[in-house]
Amino acid sequence: MNEFFAPIDDIAFALKHSARLEELAQIPAFEHLDPEMVRDLMSEAARFFADVVSPTNRIGDEIGAVLRDGQVVLPDGYKAAYDAVVEAGWNRVSAPEEHGGAALPFSVGTAIIEMYGASNMGFAMCHGLSDGAIHAMEAHASDELKELYLGKMISGEWSGSMDLTEPQAGSDLGRLRCTAEPQSDGSYHLSGQKIFISFGDHDLTDNIIHLVLARTPDAPAGSRGISLFLAPKYRLNPDGSVGESNGIKTVSLEHKMGIRVSPTCVLSYGEDEPTVGWMIGQENQGLMCMFTMMNRERIFVGNQGLAIAERAYQQALDYAKERVQGRAIGDELGPGKDSTIIQHPDVRRMLMTMKAKIEAMRGMLYASAADDDIATHHPDAGERLKAEARLALVTPVVKAWLSDTGVEVTSLGIQVHGGVGFVEETGAAQHYRDARIAPIYEGTNGIQASDLTMRKLRLGDGAVVNGYLDEMRGVVSELDARPDLKELAEGLRAGIETLARSTEWLQERMGVEARDIAAGSTPYLNLFGAVAGATALARLAVAAVEDKSGEWSETYLENRVTLARFFIQQLLPQALGNEAAVKAGSGDLFAIAPDAL
């Protein structure tokens, strides 16, 4: 009941029509990409993760990561699984060729990460964090640091971590106290403590490369005085091999409700011996450098929401097809026979809700990954800037809406199982427990909502979000132009115009009524996510009607239209009620005194 196999048809369809692989293949950086070979690649990846990684999921939850004699140890089988991932090269699909990667689009790598996360969400975090660290180093590290570290990080011989949070700081990084003292050789000695450091220590690789936020002497107060440093767990010998300890100590592990195999560490630096670090980027520009990594990680967290939702859905679907209970209304069976629960309308509604939301999530995620590819590699500067702006706008939505929806879908998965879903032995509860962290880390979803309304709606003086709304309206025009899809146009149009009115209401109050904007931020993000998800499904419905490749069956293509119709006509209207909450202001939120709450 805990088996997982990636949905190849769905992934290939979204890569073709949401990520627009054929268009990406026209970019010179991806001239080696053969879109027709992608299905074969996905099929091989699906087989690998089903056979090698998925079986590790349950033991990871039951045993988890353990701190033993100062060293974090993962359960039996994890080192072999990690080595198999590295040997097969699944961790470097989108990495640059000059450092040993396959240089395929990030959108293709995103599909691989989805399979990895669905197979074992906690385990996949190791490579997800390494990818973010690599991304930050590619953008900001010196050539010398790149030469020393990038090759082995991309190969998977070494892993990476992001060391941000401190006990007194939480999400307010301006309160960081970790210090960095300059040394005569250009290095720095780091001292202090960090908490909630995912994969801050483990026994999978020979070295762990920590990207650490710290303050240099006389740095300005607050976030303006933060710098970024690279500090390996073990120092390097002159020949680049792993040497002695670098004074990074694992103080303790957190005991979590989910992703238990992902070691969440409390780390100290320079406590017993110096922790030597090297600055990445410019002094006091660390937060800017780290956001290069964090924005990549936010897309990764959205991917986690999708991945764990897919796994929960597959298990719920299998159970619903097998579990016999009661006589479903309209199910014509012989005397004394009961129906499988999938024949009951309420169970079918839950499964359709799960499936439609998963396809909406996948469409949004892959389109955003393609924007990253265009922003990074397109030869035309104007196209790069447009894609970069669009990606900046939707990144908080991808992180928050997909991770919140992952929690919702995994909760529905338990509900489909009924009472046995609440029992740990079925495995359904683990998916919910694992999913619940995603709305919290990499910036809580409330922070993502504030980022969307307070910052991202201002991009280009509002031109970026208005352009995004116009792109959505273009999809409505495509629906209107097709008699077989016209019924979808009215509902989607209503959603887009509701979002447009809410956007205008917020824009009119910028700089004047900040508290009212903040109060409406989460309802606005929820509205934005639902409308963007509906639009993603509508695009896939148009593609299903137009696709004549023969790669998918007629039934499969017809079902894309059904899923879009279900979402737009039955799920989207529920989200449109957020407009009233967006515009309600902050009055009632603060009308009751804290002592009376």
Is residue 442 annotated as a catalytic residue, yes or no? yes
The one catalytic residue in 297, 310, 359, 442 is 442
Per DSSP bridges, beta strands 207-214 and 158-163 are parallel
- pLDDT score of 49: 97
- Is 307:419 a contact under the CB 8 Å cutoff? no
Determine the Cα–Cα distance for residues 560 and 258; give it in Å rounded to an integer: 33
What ranges in 95-163 are assigned the alpha helix state H? 106-119, 121-140, 143-145, 151-155
Angle, nearest 10°, between helix axes 381-417 and 463-480? 70
Coil, strand or helix at 269:
strand
Determine the Cα–Cα distance for residues 583 and 501; give it in Å rounded to an integer: 10
Determine the Cα–Cα distance for residues 485 and 370; give it in Å rounded to an integer: 26
- pLDDT score of 172: 66
Let me know the angle formed at the C-alpha of 373 by 371 and 376, rounded to the nearest 5 degrees: 105
Per DSSP bridges, beta strands 66-68 and 158-163 are unpaired
35 to 57, 89, 117, 239, 505: CA distances (angstroms)? 31, 19, 23, 41, 43
Predicted model pTM: 0.95
Q: What is the CA radius of gyration of the chain?
A: 24
Instruction: Give the up-direction half-sphere exposure of residue 474: CA atoms within 13 A in the CB hemisphere.
Output: 8
- Output the six-digit token pair for 387: 């894609």
What ranges in 170-323 are assigned the alpha helix state H? 286-322
- pLDDT score of 100: 82
- Output the six-digit token pair for 155: 């190969």
Q: 580: buried, middle or exposed (CB in 10 Å: 19+, 13-18, 0-12)?
A: exposed
Closest by Cα among 441, 453, 416 to 431: 416
- Is 428:504 a contact under the CB 8 Å cutoff? no
- pLDDT score of 330: 76
Contacts 24+ apart (CB under 8 A), 242-246: 242/206, 242/207, 245/273, 246/275, 246/276
- Output the six-digit token pair for 150: 């990038």
Along the 597 residues of the chain, how does pLDDT read in single tens digits? 468 999 999 999 999 999 999 999 999 999 999 988 999 999 999 999 999 999 999 999 999 999 999 999 999 999 999 999 999 999 999 988 887 888 999 999 999 999 999 999 999 999 999 999 998 999 999 999 999 999 999 999 999 999 998 887 766 666 788 999 999 999 999 999 999 999 999 999 999 999 999 999 989 988 889 999 999 999 999 999 999 999 999 999 999 999 999 999 999 999 999 999 999 999 999 988 888 888 889 999 999 999 999 999 999 999 999 998 887 787 777 676 888 999 999 999 999 999 999 999 999 999 999 999 999 999 999 999 999 999 999 999 999 999 999 999 999 999 999 999 999 999 999 999 999 999 999 999 999 999 999 999 999 999 999 999 999 999 999 999 999 999 999 999 999 999 999 999 999 999 888 999 999 999 999 999 999 999 999 999 999 999 999 999 999 999 999 999 999 999 999 999 999 999 999 999 999 999 999
